[in-house]
A and B are shown apart, each in its own frame.
Chain A
Amino acid sequence: MKLIIRMMAGVSGPWTAISARHCVPQALSLLLVSLMLAGCSTSNLAILSPASGFATGQRDLIYFAIGLMLIVLIPVWLLAFWFPFRYREREGTRGHHPEWTTLPWVEAVVWTVPAIIVAIIGYTVWLETHRLDPYAPAPSQGTAVQIDAISLDWKWVFLYPDGRGATVNELVLPVGRPIELHLTSDTAMTSLFIPGLAGQIYAMAGMETELNFQPERAGMHIGRNTQYTGGSFPDQQFTVKVVSPEDYRTFLDRLSRNGSSLSEADYYELKMNRHTSPVREYSTYPNELFQSVIDTYCSSNCGRRQTEPGSHAPQGANPEGTAGGKA
């Protein structure tokens, strides 16, 4: 068992290496993904061509699990075709076969092989769920960029650190620094997802959730709400620009020199105008906007300002957090 654990601990490393050199894992996933995706090109498969450490880890897990499960799937496919063909009814076969109803060693294999595979995947799941926990800070030396995101009908408002501006439907991020996205919703429950960059987490009114990741390549992404909320739900998407640290500073400067500021009235108008929105930029925003949006729905001390350092749970909640304990 120790051997397996040690093997598994290193598994995502070699696996990534293989996937870079050959097309084996892609070919495996193509089995699932159908023949329509020719060759090994994953260019338009956002999730299979990630641009952050988290998204890469998430994708490698997919390959790893598919590979292991094929140990069960391939025999099933072979036997499901071979047996009906080999043992189809022919002259004189009726009633002339051994009445074997169980065979201890076959039963043992049938229970243990899937169990071992599930144990291996399960162990990996335990490790990877902790490593890739959206709440866990991205492993990096850089200081985290903390951005607040508010979900409205049907657009996103992003608030940059230290009151240095706000954007609507546009998120600009520096490459190579950990991003700490804090989310809440000023409408129904939504889910923020940036395929290829960050997995998703729900944004809920009166609560705060968190998404950590680190972009590793400059580029453009599309982020969106994936949790259906009626109306213009399909349009609730935003562009994500991952830029160099210099360009990021330039962007912040431009933002702060931008004449317009996001007033409470502007925010209210954005909220009540139930449509999507073109990209908007503001130089400032009300100091406690994010917290006040949370407080609209939560009368009893919610959100990050009440949480203890290192804990995601509101006071009085179960710190282990069954669903939403971290809200």
Chain B
Amino acid sequence: MTFLGRLGIDSLPFYSPVAFAGAATEVLAALMILALVTWKGWWKPLFRDWIATVDHKKIGIMYLFLAGVMLLRGFADAMLMRLQQAMALNSDGYLPPEHFNQIFSAHGTIMIFFMAMPFLTGLINIVVPLQIGARDVAFPFLNAVSFWLTGAGAALVLLSLVIGKFSTAGWTAYPPFSENSFTPGPGVDYWIWAVLVAGAGSTMTGINVLVTILMRRAPGMSLMRMPLFTWTALVTSILMVFAFPALTTSSAMLALDRTLGFHFFTNGDGGNMMNYANLFWIWGHPEVYILILPAFGIYSEVVATFSDKRLFGYTSLVFATAVIGVLSFTVWLHHFFTMGASANVNAVFGIATMIIAVPTGVKVFDWLFTMYRGSIRLTTPMYWTIGFMVTFVIGGATGVLLAIPPVDFLMHNSVFLVAHFHNMLIPGALFGFFAGFSYWFPKAFGYRLDETWGKRAFWAWITGFYIAFMPLYALGFMGMPRRMEHYDVAGWQPLLITAAIGAVFILAGIACQIVQLYVSWKNRESLCDTTGDPWDGRTLEWMTSSPPKPWNFDRIPTVHSLDEFAWRKETAGFVDEPGAPDVIALPKDSLLPMAIGASAFIFGFAMIWHIWWLAIMALLTILAMLTATGFTRDSGLRIIRIENRDAARAEVASS
């Protein structure tokens, strides 16, 4: 055993010119950012205002930033794959199998764990405390720890491009292929530790959001007066709390197999990979709803606001959300109908899966009827929402098809399946996150996003989506499996070239979004939101300024109705009775969460490369920091007194 474990000079990416170029780009980008920050003298404000913050809104913005960066990386992977498959008829294309296999593994891992999860966690962080009239989340320090753990996981994935290789075992890391006998080397370990570190963060996020929503609602806000986004965040957080431990368990068992020679999932020696498949999907299926439910919540808010109406069937929507949450735990076996279970088992899980289509269908109709006889403003968030409804139902239908076991025997492992889950996750989840991003952007930043570029982005994305994924449905009928580095069926190539063209449209969509951010920032004066209520909103978050003060509300509002803010605007003669001045206690900023994240990153890195002394030191550091946190007294809080309701003059005192 050496000092640096299995780390050596051969860990650098000289095996593929494309991988080397990618690594060089990544290192260069990192160096440029560091240089820029140094040159501009941003280090101090960066640490003071962002890295040390425990403010839920700023943490939310940092999550969004992380999601944006990882979206670019994950999408670059997608482009590389589409290009390879468009070329690789009877040839090796331009990517060696070793590199192609890393790319699709990284693409899935990044998009699920480090793009979609941070995106929705960011939106929940920014919006939920505001929607329920709270000053912050229940555990602000823990919230920051969760963020930095997610960042540590993302950093491990990014690092794998430069030092060593990433997993070639797909984003699901199915054993026995992901065991040492088939994939030695650090790749799968990168996947394991990135997922374990980030998964710990997600579990804690789930606990945090759950407790926040249950305990920190403003007076008068009963459960059935909660906005729908808060409802979906609540169900999502419950799913996180119950589902993520299964992922943590299965990944940790795989780590034991690989690192300490256990035999949980190995071929032979008593191992059984079927246990992994079960554990993984007991997390994996609820994960789909962890991603989609918050998007459903966003569509609900957007469609009500821009139809100038209350949501149609609020109770139905709440009920449907809860039903989906419960049912999502009962269907995991549909991911492996082909594993040889009996017809009874397959049929039961197939039918359970289809039942989820009922509450989902109800939701779609409730959104449609919300528009009925409304007064509809076709803003960018509305575009995303309508685009979602039209496209998502196709994914729902193909999902029902895949839930029929005899059909799944034909479509399993095919690109039809790939098209299906992209159909769920792009129009289903990502469009929702984009809608939420433009909807709440003024709340978080104080100015609206440019509408023209937003709509251009929408048209490019949705056109690109259809051109990129409809051919994959067709290819599925032609029997094309997923994850093919090359192929010898000439009939597939035209469709794969079409799909690559679709990816170029999506690239244009992403470019429009970047331009949109720049243009909006340039015109931030004219797009400024001075009222705090740029959309004629209906819920509490629009009652406070944009961006809100660190304590969100000078005075916690009392809730009288569903859509409290709309109710207040519509109720003639409503006067908010002034109460006694509030004393606000805000948690103190701390650099410890970042330090914990950094130590977790080092711990993961050391475990991946078998540098045991470093792993032990990093682990001890984390324990020491957590212990130190335990001794911090509440007197360390920042106390703010609101003296005058209108002037909101804040007297900040540290005690």
Enumerate chain A interface residues (CB-CB to B < 8 A). Answer: 29, 32-34, 36-37, 44-48, 55, 57-59, 61-62, 65-66, 69, 72-73, 76-77, 79-81, 83-84, 87-90, 93-103, 106-107, 110-111, 113-115, 118, 121-122, 125-126, 128-130, 132-136, 187-189, 191, 193, 195-196, 199-202, 204-207, 209-210, 222, 224, 226-234, 296-299, 312, 320-327
Cβ of A106 and Cβ of B369 under 8 Å apart?
yes
Interchain Cβ contacts under 8 Å between A and B, 17 examples: A36-B474, A73-B397, A81-B390, A95-B308, A95-B375, A97-B309, A97-B375, A101-B313, A110-B316, A130-B343, A188-B267, A199-B409, A226-B412, A228-B101, A230-B177, A321-B340, A323-B345
Residue interface bits B297-341, CB-to-A below 8 A is 1, else 0: 000000000011111111110000000000000000100101111
Is the pair B485, A321 in contact by a Cβ cutoff of 8 Å?
no
Q: Choose one: A69, A133, A226; the contact of B343 (CB below 8 Å).
A: A133
Contact A129 B274 (CB under 8 A): no
Are A126 and B369 interface neighbours, CB within 8 A?
no
Q: In the complex, which of the residues A205, A224, A226, A326 has the most CB atoms of chain B within 10 Å of its own CB atom?
A: A226
Q: Which 9 A-B pairs have the closest CB atoms?
A: A199-B409, A195-B479, A34-B470, A226-B413, A297-B268, A114-B361, A133-B343, A129-B347, A132-B406
Q: 8 extra interchain contacts, Cβ-Cβ under 8 A, other than A34-B473, A96-B375, A226-B414?
A: A36-B494, A125-B403, A125-B405, A132-B406, A191-B338, A206-B268, A229-B182, A323-B277
Q: Is the beta-carbon distance between A230 and B168 smaller than 8 angstroms?
A: yes
In the complex, the answer to whether B273 meets A204 with C-beta atoms within 8 Å is: yes
Q: Between A and B, how many residue pairs show CB distances below 8 Å?
A: 323
- B43 at interface, CB cutoff 8 A: no
Could you say which residues of chain B place their CB within 8 Å of the CB of A98? 373
**Which of B349-357, B437-445, B616-624, B632-640 sits within the interface?**
B349-357
Given A125-B404, A129-B405, A320 contacting B495 (CB threshold 8 A) = no
Report how far A206 CA is from B269 CA in the complex, Å: 10
- Whether B407 sits at the interface, judged by CB under 8 Å, is yes
Q: Which single member of A36, A129, A135, A229 contacts B471 (CB below 8 Å)?
A: A36
A196 pairs with B479, CB closer than 8 A: yes
Q: What's the least CB distance linking A73 to chain B, in Å?
A: 5
B483 within 8 Å of A (CB atoms): yes
Interface residue from A73, A111, A227, A234 paired with B413 (Cβ < 8 Å): A227
Distance to closest chain B CB from A319 (angstroms) = 8
Contacts A87-B375, A201-B338: A32 and B394 contacting too (C-beta < 8 A)? yes
Q: A73-B393, A80-B386, A199-B409 are in contact. Are A111 and B310 (CB under 8 A)?
A: no
Of B176, B277, B376, B491, which contacts A205 at CB under 8 A?
B176
Check if B4 is an interface residue, CB within 8 A of chain A: no
- Take A58-B406, A321-B341, A327-B274 as given contacts and tell me if A122 and B351 are in contact as well, using a CB distance cutoff of 8 Å: yes
Closest to A126 in B: B347
Q: Smallest distance from the beta carbon of B379 to chain A beta carbons, Å?
A: 10
Instruction: Tell me the minimal C-beta distance from A43 to chain B in angstroms.
Output: 9
- CA of A326 to CA of B339, assembled, Å: 9
Contacting residues, chain B, for A125 (C-beta < 8 A): 347, 350-351, 354, 403-405
User: Does any Cβ of A come within 8 Å of B649's Cβ?
Assistant: no
Q: Check A32/B398 contact, CB under 8 A, given A110-B362, A200-B409.
A: yes
Residues of B with C-beta under 8 A to A133: 342-343, 346
Which applies to chain B's interface (DSSP): helix, strand, loop or mixed? helix
The answer to whether A57 touches B400, judged by C-beta atoms less than 8 angstroms apart, is: no
- Checking B308, B339, B366, B476 against A94 with a beta-carbon cut-off of 8 angstroms, the contacting residue is B308
List residues of chain B with CB within 8 A of the CB of A37. Answer: 474
CB atoms of B267 and A205 under 8 A apart: yes
Partner of B267, one of A66, A134, A297: A297
User: CA separation between A320 and B278, bound complex, in Å?
Assistant: 16
Are B340's CB and A327's CB within 8 A? yes
Which residues of chain B have C-beta atoms less than 8 A from A228's C-beta?
A: 101, 170, 177, 413, 481-483
Residue on A nearest B310 in the bound complex, by CB: A101
Please state if A324 and B351 are interface contacts (CB–CB under 8 Å): no
Cβ–Cβ contact A323 & B268, under 8 A: no
CB atoms of A46 and B487 under 8 A apart: no
Once bound together, how far apart are the Cα atoms of A232 and B477, in whole Å?
23
CB < 8 Å neighbour of B483 from A33, A115, A202, A233? A233
Tell which of A134, A204, A228 has the most Cβ of chain B within 10 Å. A228
**Please, which residues of chain B bring their CB within 8 A of the CB of A201?**
338-340, 409
Question: Which of A32, A37, A59: most chain B CB closer than 10 A?
Answer: A32
A200/B338 in contact, CB under 8 A: yes
Q: Which residues of B sit under 8 angstroms from A118, Cβ to Cβ?
A: 354-355, 357-358, 400
Contact of A65 among B277, B311, B362, B404 (CB under 8 A): B404
Cross-chain contact B273 with A57 (CB below 8 angstroms) = no
State whether the Cβ of B183 lies closer than 8 Å to any Cβ in chain A.
Answer: yes
Closest Cβ of chain A to B459, distance in Å, is 15
Contact (Cβ within 8 A) B410 A55: yes
Most chain B beta-carbon neighbours within 10 Å: one of A81, A188, A323? A323
Number of interface residues of B (CB under 8 A): 102
CB-CB < 8 A to A46: which residues of B? 477-479
- The yes or no answer to B595 lying at the interface (CB within 8 A) is no
User: Is B382 among interface residues, defined by CB-CB distance under 8 A?
Assistant: yes
- State whether B274 touches A324 (Cβ < 8 A): yes
Does B627 have its Cβ within 8 Å of any Cβ on chain A? no
Residues of chain B from 60 to 86 with CB closer than 8 A to chain A in the complex:
none
- In the complex, whether B486 has a CB less than 8 A from a CB of chain A is yes
Query: Which residues 270-284 of B sit at the A interface, judged by CB distance below 8 A?
Result: 270, 272-274, 277-278
Given contacts A83-B368, A87-B371, A110-B365, contact A323 B477 (CB under 8 A): no
* C-alpha spacing A93/B375, complex, angstroms: 6
Taking the closest CB of chain A, its distance from the CB of B401, in whole angstroms, is 6
- Within 8 Å CB of A204, what residues of B? 273-274, 339
Q: Which residues of A contact B386 (CB under 8 A)?
A: 80, 84
B409–A323 contact, CB under 8 A? no
Which residues of B are found within 8 Å of A195, using beta-carbon distances?
A: 410, 478-479
Docked complex Cα distance between A299 and B270 (Å): 8
CB distance from B395 to the nearest CB of A (A): 10
Tell me the smallest distance from the CB of B91 to a CB of chain A, in Å: 12
Cα separation A327 to B271 with both chains bound (whole Å):
14
Interface status of B372 (Cβ within 8 A of chain A):
yes
Q: In the complex, what residue of chain B is closest to A102 when comparing beta carbons?
A: B313
Contact with A along B176-196 (1 / 0, CB 8 A): 110000110000000000000
Which residues of A have CB within 8 Å of B344?
A: 130, 320
Q: Does B611 contact A (CB under 8 A)?
A: no
On whether the beta carbons of A128 and B404 are closer than 8 Å, the reply is yes
With a CB–CB cut-off of 8 A, which chain B residues contact A55?
A: 410
Known: A33-B470, A76-B364, A209-B340. A87 touches B274 (CB 8 A): no
A97 touches B409 (CB 8 A): no
* Contact, CB under 8 Å: B307 / A324: no
Which of B376, B378, B406 is A128 in contact with, Cβ under 8 Å?
B406
Within 8 A of A (CB), among B508-564: none
Residues of B within 8 A of A136 (CB): 343
Q: Which of B314, B364, B405 contacts A102 (CB 8 A)?
A: B314
Interface presence of B242 (CB below 8 A): no
> Quick check: is B498 within 8 A (CB to CB) of the other chain?
yes
Among B336, B403, B466, contact of A202 (Cβ-Cβ < 8 Å)? B336
Q: Is the CB of B345 within 8 A of A320?
A: yes
Interface residues as binary, B407-437 with A (CB distance below 8 Å gives 1, 0 otherwise): 1011111100000000000000000000000
